[in-house]
Amino acid sequence: MSQMQPTSRKKKQPNDSMVTSQKDTIQTDCVLLPYDFPHQPPRGYEYKAFSYKTNVISIWTVYQSGFTYNGNAESYCIWGFYNTKTKQYHAPVNSKTVGEVVDINDTTPYTSMPLKLNPLEYAFLHS
C-alpha cells in the first residue's frame, strides 16, 4: 500500500471578478454644486459635482440624451474644478488635472476654460 501524502488545504480565494481595486471602482457619490455657481445647465444637460480631492470638487456637464456610440447612455464632460478652501474655480487641463484659476464671470455654461476671443468676437458675445 502506498503512503498517502498529506494535502495542504488552501484558503478559499475570492473569484477574480469579485476582487476590485479602488481605482477600478466608479465614484457615484454626487456632492452639491458650490452655492455661488452662476450657470444654469443648457437644454438637455445637467450638472453633477463629485468630490475630487479633500478640498476640490470636480464639476461635470452631463448630456442626458446620450449618443449612438455609447448606447444612448449619459455622456460626461468635465466643466471645471472648484477649490472649497480658496473658493476659486479652476479650468481643467483634462478630466484629471486641475488647471489655472479662472474668473467665474469668464466662464460659460459648457466650460470653465477661458475663451480666446478677438475684440470683435468679445463685443458680439458680451453685448
Q: Where are the domains of the chain?
A: 26-125
Cell of 103: 474668473
Instruction: Please answer whether residues 89 and 82 qualify as being in contact, where contact means their C-beta atoms are separated by less than 8 angstroms.
Output: yes
- Who wins on pLDDT, 60 or 71? 60
State the cell numbers at 127.
Answer: 453685448
Spatial contact of 70 and 93, defined as CB atoms under 8 Å apart: no
pLDDT category, 13, cuts 50, 70, 90?
very low
Residue 60 has pLDDT above 90, yes or no: yes
Question: Which residue type is seen at 14?
Answer: P
How many angstroms separate the Cα of 80 from the Cα of each of 3, 97, 110, 123, 127? 70, 10, 10, 25, 25
Query: Does the pTM exceed 0.75?
Result: no
